[in-house]
Structures are given as C-alpha cells and as structure tokens.
Amino acid sequence: MTCSPSQPSGENRNTAPGFKTMTRTRAHLHNPAAAALSSWITTLTLAVACNDVAPTGVSDATLAPTSDSPAELDGQSPGPRSDAFSPSSGGSGSGASGGNGNGNGGNGDNGGNIAGAPTAGTGGQAGADAGGLLPPAPGSVSYTYASSCSPPTETIAPGDTLLGYVDAFPNLPGFANPVAFAAASDGRLFIVEQAGRVVSFVNSPGESSVTTVLDLTSVVDGGGEKGMLGIALHPDFTTNGHLYVNYIVRSGDRFSRIARFTMSAGNPTVADPASELLLLSVQQPAGNHNGGDLKFGPDGYLYSSFGDGGGSGDQYGNGQNTASLLGTVIRVDVDGGTPYAIPNDNPFVGGGGLAEIYAYGLRNPWRISFDRNNGRLWAGDVGQRGFEEVNVIENGKNYGWPITEGIGCYEADSCNTSGLTEPVALYPRAQGQSITGGFVYRGTQIPWLVGTYLYADFDTSRLWGYRYGDPTPTSELITGPANVSSFGEDLNGELYLLGYSTGRIYTLTGSGGQVTYNIPTTLSAMACFSSLSTMTPADGVLPYELNMPLWSDGASKTRFLVLPNGTQIDVQASGEWLFPDGTMWIKHFELQTDPNAPSSRTRLETRFLVQSARGLYGFTYGWNAAESDATLVLNGDTRTLDLGAPGNTTSYTWNLPSQSECLKCHTVVSGGILGPETAQLNREAIFPALESAGPLNQLDAFEAYGLLNPVQASPGSLPRFPSLSDAGASLEERSRAYLHSNCSNCHRSGGTTGTALDFLATSSLTAMAVCNVNAAGGNFGTSSGLLLSPGNGDDSVIHARLTGSGANRMPPLGTTLFDDTAADVIRNWINGIASCP
C-alpha cells in the first residue's frame, strides 16, 4: 500500500505533520448505501494507514498504537514511528528491533510462516537475540497487579426456585454433535449424532458405555444444518422394533429422507441396516433450514418439521407454498398404509395443498414436542433478522413466514396478516440468534417448573420459560450449557439438554444458585483507567496488541488485560494461552467519522469480557456525547453517526452488543478467548515500566513481568501472524491469518456451525474442507456454489460472503461494512490456487 503525495495533509494532537490520504473504490453488490459506506471506510483506512493516528488522548508513552492502526495497515511494527521500526525499510534502530544492536532492521518482523514454527527474518528479534540490545530477563521487572480494576462481584441467590443444570451422565464418553433424543419404554435413551449415528444407553446416572444402534455415516450428508436430524420410536417400539429417522442423504442433490428401520431379530439392541423402509423424500435446494425433527403424537401419528428450503429470506418461495412440504409440519399415519396413509382430518386432504401438510408458514422449525398432559404441539422457529419465535402448532394454521416474522411484517411497513397465526412467545435477536425448541416440563424433581415450556438459544445459551396463556410472555431462567441443540424428555417427564459443542447431556436441577453479576453502571466506576479523558490505564491494566485483529467496520481498538493477583498465563505448545479464572479483557472502540479529519474520531464503546469460575460473560459501556464517561448497556443499543466529509455524509449505525451476544463469538470450542495467543501477540509494543527498552516484543515484555508459564523461547522461533497489508508475507499467510482471526471461533473442528470447515491457520488446505466443496447454505451469488473455486476468487463463496450484505455477510455479527482490503487479499490468494490438493 502506498500513499499519494498529492493528497492534502493535516495534523492533530496525536498526528505527526504531513499525513496523506488516498481514496480507492471498488464495485459493490447491489446496495448503494453499502457502497457509499464501504467507499468511505476504504478512504478512512488508507488515511489512517498514512497517518500515525493514535486513539484520542492516548499517549505512546503508556500505550502502543492499536493493531488496527497505521503501522499494521502498512505492514510496520507498532510503536513511535521511524524507519528503525519498519521491517520493510530497516534503518537505524535499537537492538530490540534491529539486526546488530544499532544495525539494520531488515525483514525481521516478517519472518516465517503461519502453520509451523517460522524462521526468523534477517533482522528484528533475531538480530536482538544475536547480539544487540537483549530484552529484559524473564521476571526481571516487578509487575504491579491491578488493585482498583477487578471483575464485578458476584451474588448467589439462595432458595429452591432457582434453576441449574448438571452433567446427567458424567461417566459416558462424549457424543459427537448430538442433535436429537428419544426415550424407550424399556429404560433406554437414544441419542442421534449429526454425522449419522444413533447410540443408546441405559438411563442411569452411573452408566458408562453406549451401544451403536444404527450407523448411517456413509450415506448421511452431515455438517452445518445437514445430517441426521431427528429420531422417533414407534409407540409400540418394544414390540415391533420400529425406529424412524430423518436425515439428509448424500447424493448429487440434497434430499431430506424419512425412513423406518427395524431392530434386528438376532440382537434387539441394534437396528438392521438392511431393513430401511423409505417413507418420503423431499429435495432440499440449499443446505440449511432442514428442520428434521420427528415426534409421535398422542394420536399415534408421526409428525415431522421441515424448514423453508434454506438460503435466506425464503428465497425459494416455499413458506406460503402449500404445494411443497418445505416450511411445514407434516402428519402421516405410519400404521394405516405402506409406507403411510393420510389422516382424514389433515387440512389439505380435499385439495389446495399437499395432503401430508398439517401446518405451514414456518421458516426453520428447530425442535418440536408434545405436552404429555394435553397433547399441545410446540415448535421453536428460527428467525431471520428480527425475532426468534415459539409457536403452538395447530391443524391447518398458517404461521406467516415470510409475510411476517415474529409479530411484525417481514419486508414491508404493512402486510396482510388476515388468517395468520402469531407466535405465543418470542425474543429479539439482540438476545439470541437461533432458538432451540424444548418441552413443557411435566417431571417431579422441580415442582415449581411444572407446566412451563422451556426453550433455549443455541448461540447465547440463554434458557427461557413460558406458561401457555400467561400475559407475561416469557421469562429468562438461567444461562444454560453452551450450544443447546435439542431437549429430551424421559419416561418420567424429566428434561435433558444436549450440548452440541460439549458433547454432553445435561439435566436440570431445582436449586442452581442463580448468579447475579454486580456490574457497575458506569465505566468510571469500574476504575480501570486512571484518566478517562486520556484513556490511561490504571496500574496493572496491561495493554496488548494483535497482529491480525477482528474486523469491526474499520473502528480503531485498544486492548487491555487484567490478571488476578499473583497469577500467570499458561502457554500451551499449540500457541493457545490459558488464563486463570478472574481474568478480565477490555477493548475500547473509536471510529473516525470524517476520513480527512482525524479530530472527528468518536468514542463508541468499551467492552469487557470476564472469565469466571462459571464460564465467560461480557458487558459493554456506551459513551456519552461529551465523551466524558460511558454507561452500562446490557440489552444492546445503537449509535447513529454521519460518515464522510461535510456535505457528503452517509448515515451509519453502530451496534452495541447485548450481554448475551458476547457468547455468539466467544464460543466454548474456541476457548472463549479470540485474540491472545502466541501468533497474535508475537509483535512489538511499548509497555509500562519498560519504556526505556523501546519497543519490545510482547512475549519478551510478558516474560519480563513474569507472567508466562513456562518461559517462552526466543520469539523469533515462534509462530507469528502477519498483518493484512504486510507485503513481506505471502497472500496465503495473510489470508489464512485473517480467516483464523475472524472465522475460526466458529469454523473449526467441533465448532458451533456443525460444518467440516476448519479455518484455523494451522490446518492444511485439505483440512479446511473448502476447496471444490459446495457451500451448505446456497450459492450466495456465485455461479459455482463452491466455497473455494481454485483460480477463481470472484466465484468463490468465501469471497462472496466477505463482501455480502445482511445475513450473507461474514463475520455475521457486529459488522455492517465489509473489509475491502481483506476481500482483495483473499480473492487474490484464491486466484493463485491452481488446483485442490
């Protein structure tokens, strides 16, 4: 990246004179507003790249520039700017960043690769280690732990009307992405693993082994929202041995298949794979919104749910199309014919739609259940962009999708809602992103919960309860286990929760010790900054920077770490950093609204993430207009800004996340912490009490403070991510580091998406499962539909999703604009791939 000398220059209190700007635009997809905003953000990015703009009021004496700041964007090291700290230009510098004490810096900042241990460059840290000014010895600096800045205190409420959960079967091996549950009258429980395996075990807390009942992994198309998704045992299962499953068959076209298997005569604990009887098959135009649940109703009929066919916005037009089984709940009589008969009171038995349909107008009904007391059928229906909803499903009813979503019109200010049935309960997507329908509790262990319909959110782990007909629509009960994919009910009416990413089965307890976090209402009350006007961190609040930060609409971010007194960070051989309970991370966001005026930099929010003994939780503070303090925001909020030069501005909305949205990105499978790891932190910065040493590698600085266990080898021998614009790194290195930072929290082995995608930088191209692989959710505007089409970045879904809008954009949360520079780098990387390995 270069800066045009012909552009105007300017300065402010944090900027050296003579900064330059350059405008670069590109074509954008069918959205003039997004195009204008992205053009602005490109202008701003390049303006910042040519300016040493630090966060408002932040001094380099106490905090190095952010990893989103000028040096990173130009492939330079952070710190006060001079040729001494530019890896591409070398120059005269200290041994901490130069080759031979005061020699040339060379390319030491860029050495090595991502996946393995990089080789040191010709200068940089390798030079320092070879005989320049050596970094401070490990433990040589007395580190002052934070005293004023600490996590919020916790209050555990007493009483027996609180809900908790425990591992129901702690001795069982872990399950691989469990998604469905069934209970047999002989005391066995059946679990469906998404890849296509059904296992069973005895319903006993001490049980330690499972039996494989059915293995269809060779024929099931799994991953994402595909796979084996539902199971139902015939009401006379112990007599006839009939087991029904709903699965996506692996073939040239996607089909949802409902099939019956019969338990083996010679071994009644396993199903005979040759006994399959196909009931029906429904083609799926995309890989998502498959529904797939199965339940026998009290009428003895088999019910199954189907999503609208996938993509987004009901792009295939199935929600209101009764000539399709997509977007419906169906009902068939498996005992009345071969393979089934149609119940004579199904709504379209006399015409007007397919006879199997029981109800329609659904988007993606994820888990259905019957109330064992009254036969009422419940469904959780996953939303598009506004609401997640709970529906009571009744014969012949139309639930509105895509005319309505929740209780409002989906894509219009007004719509004809006559004949449509509203949900009985809902929650906004600020509180969760993917509902998991549950059951009405009819057990005996938690008396106060009887009659309550429980449901959860897959992404945020929130668990709600709703009583039918209650004028207070819903109440949040607890934060449950991570990624609840399904509920189950045993013969006694006790409920179980399936942890998709943890592979565990949980049961509810009636005395969970509900925890309240006593979060201060203002940022100043957190006492983590000695001065909010300059954002100077308090003692023990340690600044750090990342080589490849998460994209946040071009906002500048400063980051801080607070460790509990006397603790250390455990550094794994893999490069992962494990932090003690009580650790707190802080991230401060600012956005320059006018690309030509650094003084327009605006404070947006300051986020906190806390690791407690009960898991992670987060919260954020939104800044007031005077930028004198920030106020706690727990349920989400927005800030509207005018972006661009005066007279040519575009309205832009910044979203402050709700507390529950924090866990959408900070997933269990990623360890919850997205930034701090060796490859991200292996870079230079300036640290309190170490300023005299100049810019130090952060690993050396953490070592000097005595914070790392074990002591790390020379950083020059350790993995190091490049910055996005580091010309000294290959396109592949930069692309893989970006995908790792922005996508691997969900897209990795065992990740929350359920796909085989693995965007960890250490994974090979083959292990990534993207090359010549069809995207699960549709073509996303490409002709190939391939995640990565070798030699054709513009026709690869990875690139299309980086440049998409709305629900099609990745990363999906917290961004409105796409990262122009990253899209270019990744497109060019794909263009250079000749073929799949």
| pLDDT value of position 140 | 85
pLDDT band at 473 (very low <50, low <70, confident <90, very high): low
Backbone angles phi, psi at 369, to 5 degrees: -160, 160
Question: What is the distance between the alpha carbons of residues 188 and 577, in angstroms, rounded to a whole number?
Answer: 41
Count of beta carbons in the 10 Å neighbourhood of residue 585? 22
| pLDDT value of position 810 | 76
Q: How far is CA 413 from CA 314, 381, 408, 422, 426, in A?
A: 18, 22, 9, 17, 20
Expressed in angstroms, the distance from the first to the final Cα of the chain is: 31
Structural contact between residues 410 and 404, judged by C-beta atoms closer than 8 angstroms = yes
Structure tokens at 703: 């070592």
Please say if the pLDDT value at position 238 is more than 70.
Answer: yes
Q: Where are the alpha helices (DSSP H) in 439-526?
A: 523-526
Q: Per residue in 128-157, pLDDT tens?
A: 333 345 778 888 888 899 999 999 998 776
Please say if the pLDDT value at position 521 is more than 50.
Answer: yes
In the sheet that 708-709 helps form, which strands lie side by side, from edge to edge?
A: 577-578, 569-571, 708-709
Nearest to 822 by CA among 609, 558, 550, 576: 550
| pLDDT value of position 60 | 30
In one-letter notation, the amino acid at residue 466 is Y
Count of beta carbons in the 10 Å neighbourhood of residue 417? 14
Please say if the pLDDT value at position 195 is more than 80.
Answer: yes
| pLDDT value of position 158 | 61
Using the Cα atoms of residue 408, residue 410, residue 413 and residue 415 in order, give the sign of their dihedral.
negative
| pLDDT value of position 110 | 32
Report which DSSP code applies to 381. Answer: E
Kindly report each contact of residues 183-188 with a partner whose C-beta sits within 8 Å and lies 24 or more positions away, as own/partner.
183/233, 183/488, 183/489, 183/490, 183/491, 184/233, 184/237, 184/238, 185/237, 185/238, 185/491, 186/238, 187/491
Question: What is the distance between the alpha carbons of residues 402 and 315, in angstroms, rounded to a whole number?
Answer: 10
Q: Where are the alpha helices (DSSP H) in 744-779?
A: 765-768
Count of beta carbons in the 10 Å neighbourhood of residue 278? 11
User: What DSSP assignment string belongs to 329-369?
Assistant: EEEEBTTSSSS-B--TTSTTTTSSS-TTEEEE--S-EEEEE
| Coil/strand/helix, residue 238 | helix
Using the structure block, give the residue that is written with the tokens 């320092």: 128
Nearest to 508 by CA among 158, 163, 156, 162: 163
Which of 261-265, 409-413, 690-694, 751-755 is predicted least confidently? 751-755
52 contact partners, CB below 8 Å, separation of at least 6? 14, 15, 16, 19, 65, 69, 70, 71, 81
The residue ranking higher by pLDDT, 54 or 460, is 460
Report which DSSP code applies to 26. Answer: -
| pLDDT value of position 94 | 31
Structure tokens at 505: 């089965």
Structural contact between residues 737 and 249, judged by C-beta atoms closer than 8 angstroms = no
| pLDDT value of position 594 | 94
Q: What is the mean pLDDT of residues 340-351?
A: 97
Please say if the pLDDT value at position 522 is more than 60.
Answer: yes
Q: What is the mean pLDDT of residues 616-638?
A: 93
Q: What is the mean pLDDT of residues 285-289?
A: 89
Buried b (16+ CB within 10 A) or exposed e, 632-671: bbeebbebebebbeeeeebebebbbbbbbbbbbbbbbbbb
Please say if the pLDDT value at position 449 is more than 70.
Answer: yes
Question: What is the distance between the alpha carbons of residues 242 and 434, in angstroms, rounded to a whole number?
Answer: 32
| pLDDT value of position 36 | 47
Q: How far is CA 15 from CA 60, 181, 263, 814, 816, in A?
A: 11, 61, 75, 28, 28
Query: How many residues belong to the chain?
Result: 837
The residue ranking higher by pLDDT, 816 or 257, is 257
Q: What is the mean pLDDT of residues 745-760?
A: 72
Structure tokens at 574: 């893999």
776 contact partners, CB below 8 Å, separation of at least 6? 223, 224, 225, 226, 286, 287, 288, 755
Report which DSSP code applies to 69. Answer: S
Q: How far is CA 182 from CA 296, 306, 416, 690, 768, in A?
A: 11, 19, 40, 61, 34
Nearest to 59 by CA among 625, 700, 599, 533: 533
The residue ranking higher by pLDDT, 49 or 575, is 575
Q: What angle do CA 669, 484, 430 make, to 5 degrees?
A: 90
Structure tokens at 393: 């499903």
Structural contact between residues 140 and 700, judged by C-beta atoms closer than 8 angstroms = no
Burial class (CB in 10 A: 0-12, 13-18, 19+), 282: buried
Q: Considering the entire predicted model, what is its pTM? A: 0.63
| pLDDT value of position 813 | 63
| pLDDT value of position 514 | 60
Question: What is the distance between the alpha carbons of residues 149 and 611, in angstroms, rounded to a whole number?
Answer: 14
Q: What is the average pLDDT score of the chain? A: 81
Structural contact between residues 456 and 439, judged by C-beta atoms closer than 8 angstroms = no
6 contact partners, CB below 8 Å, separation of at least 6? none
Question: What is the distance between the alpha carbons of residues 438 and 379, in angstroms, rounded to a whole number?
Answer: 8
| pLDDT value of position 545 | 93
Question: What is the distance between the alpha carbons of residues 829 and 267, in angstroms, rounded to a whole number?
Answer: 54
Q: How far is CA 518 from CA 151, 165, 682, 683, in A?
A: 9, 22, 35, 36
| Coil/strand/helix, residue 389 | strand
Structural contact between residues 559 and 537, judged by C-beta atoms closer than 8 angstroms = no
Percentage above 70 pLDDT, the chain: 78
369 contact partners, CB below 8 Å, separation of at least 6? 295, 377, 378, 437, 438, 439, 440, 487, 489
Please say if the pLDDT value at position 476 is more than 80.
Answer: no
| pLDDT value of position 116 | 36
Question: What is the distance between the alpha carbons of residues 785 and 725, in angstroms, rounded to a whole number?
Answer: 28
Report which DSSP code applies to 125. Answer: H
Half-sphere exposure of 833 (CA within 13 A, CB side): 24
Q: Per residue in 204-233, pLDDT tens?
A: 999 999 999 999 999 999 888 899 999 999
Nearest to 224 by CA among 498, 496, 485: 485
pLDDT band at 161 (very low <50, low <70, confident <90, very high): low
